């Protein structure tokens, strides 16, 4: 039990710290690298939630594919860092206050929930298959086959759209 | 005595992640950083799905997270293509200078 607590706080503080680095660093490449770190810490949190498959997908797709795409674009555009990272216009200050208020409100609502430790509430037979790639695959390819195919079509359309939009002349 | 980790901890972590992402969207001016902050917000959503899946002992929430990751990949590719094409047309990705659609 104590290991879970230690790991949770390590991963949680790492996630929040690197997410803050994404928002508050000037250099876009540094932001992207902080985001990669954030995704790795988050994958650790997912493992604590017994979501091993999603943690693996998180590292492969997010920290791997999507962030490579981001870094490619950042380096392709070779942006120079000009001006302050943050500028305090009234609308930005208002936005910051609204975000803090949202966080406080969400925290107050979530604290109404139970403080009990996470115990297994599901069917005892499902305990060994919870979150495994075998079980998720079985559900995905039977019950959720249509959404799965729709998402594959969506990805195809997105790739074609990205090529059409980004290419100067087809 | 450290508190045991409950669903609330995960939900508050997700809220913190979401709010940081939202703060970035509201205050940053680089369109690429704004995109990265949107990814942060999507990850916060994933975390809530996985936390509730763990609480309920039902891993269908994992499939929601899976679909969110797939849609986020599509969103990132199209969004970055738009950023490239805007940069080509305007020579900047500073969202304060991209305001020709303002009235």
Residue B5 lies in a domain: no
- Are B17 and B51 within 8 A, CB to CB? no
pLDDT 10s digits, A121-151: 767 777 778 888 898 999 999 999 999 999 9
Residue B84 lies in a domain: yes
**What residues of B are in contact with residue A61 (Cβ under 8 Å)?**
69-70, 73
Q: Give CA separation, A84 vs A24, A28, A88, A165, B71, in Å.
A: 11, 13, 10, 31, 33
What are the two backbone dihedrals, phi and then psi, of residue A116, each rounded to the nearest 5 degrees?
Answer: -65, 145
Share of chain B above pLDDT 70, in %: 97
**Residue A149's pLDDT is what?**
95
Residue B69 lies in a domain: yes
Domain that holds residue B59: 29-90
Which residues lie closer than 8 Å to A94 by C-beta, 6 or more apart? none
Q: Give CA separation, A152 vs A42, A158, B58, B70, B71, in Å.
A: 25, 10, 25, 8, 10
Q: How far is A139 from chain B (nearest CA, A)?
A: 8
User: Total domain count for chain B?
Assistant: 1
Q: Which of A50, A85, A151 sits opposite B54 (nearest CB)?
A: A50
Chain-chain contact of A161 with B70 (C-beta, under 8 angstroms):
no
Residue B38 lies in a domain: yes
**By C-alpha distance, which of A153, A43, A46, A69 is closest to B70?**
A153
**By C-alpha distance, which of A87, A39, A99 is closest to A67?**
A39
Residue spans of the domains in chain A: they are 1-80, 128-170
pLDDT 10s digits, A5-38: 899 999 999 999 999 999 998 888 999 999 999 9
**What residues of A are in contact with residue B19 (Cβ under 8 Å)?**
99-100, 102-103, 106
**What residues of B are in contact with residue A66 (Cβ under 8 Å)?**
39, 72-73, 76
Q: How far is A68 from chain B (nearest CA, A)?
A: 11
Residue B103 lies in a domain: no
Which of A103, A127, A139, A161 to mutate against chain B (most B CBs within 10 Å)?
A103
Q: Which of B8, B81, B87 sits opposite A110 (nearest CB)?
A: B8
SS3 A99: helix
Residue B8 lies in a domain: no
pLDDT in tens, chain B (103 residues): 467 888 899 999 999 999 999 999 998 888 899 999 999 999 999 999 999 998 888 888 999 999 999 999 999 999 999 999 999 888 888 888 888 777 6
The domain A1-80 having CATH identifier 1.20.120.1200: the answer here is yes
Hey, CA dihedral for A105, A106, A109, A115, is it positive or negative?
negative
SS3 B6: coil
Residue B20 lies in a domain: no
Residue B2 lies in a domain: no
ipTM (interface pTM)? 0.91
pLDDT 10s digits, A29-48: 999 999 999 999 999 999 99
């Amino acid at each position: 039990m104590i290991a879970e607590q230690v790991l949770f706080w390590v991963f949680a503080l790492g996630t929040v710290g690197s997410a803050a680095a994404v928002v508050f660093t000037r250099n876009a490449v540094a932001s992207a690298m902080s985001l990669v770190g954030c995704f790795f810490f988050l994958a650790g949190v997912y493992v604590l939630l017994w979501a091993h498959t999603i943690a693996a997908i998180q590292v492969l797709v997010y920290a791997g594919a999507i962030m490579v795409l981001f870094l490619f674009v950042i380096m392709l555009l070779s942006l120079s860092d000009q001006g302050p990272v943050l500028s305090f216009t009234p609308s930005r200050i208002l936005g910051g206050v609204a975000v803090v208020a949202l966080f406080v409100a969400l925290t107050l609502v979530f604290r109404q929930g139970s403080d009990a430790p996470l115990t297994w509430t599901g069917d005892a037979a499902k305990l060994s298959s919870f979150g495994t790639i075998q079980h998720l695959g079985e559900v995905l390819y039977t019950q959720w086959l249509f959404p799965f195919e729709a998402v594959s079509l969506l990805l195809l359309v997105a790739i074609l759209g990205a090529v059409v939009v980004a290419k100067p002349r087809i | 005595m450290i508190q045991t980790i409950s669903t609330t901890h995960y939900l508050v972590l997700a809220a913190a992640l979401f709010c940081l992402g939202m703060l970035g969207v509201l205050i940053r001016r680089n369109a690429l950083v704004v995109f990265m902050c949107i990814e942060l917000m999507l990850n916060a959503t994933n975390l809530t799905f996985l936390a509730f899946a763990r609480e309920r002992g039902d891993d269908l929430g994992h499939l929601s997270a899976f679909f969110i990751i797939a849609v986020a990949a599509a969103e990132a590719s199209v969004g970055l293509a738009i950023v490239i094409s805007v940069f080509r047309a305007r020579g900047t990705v500073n969202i304060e200078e991209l305001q020709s659609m303002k009235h």
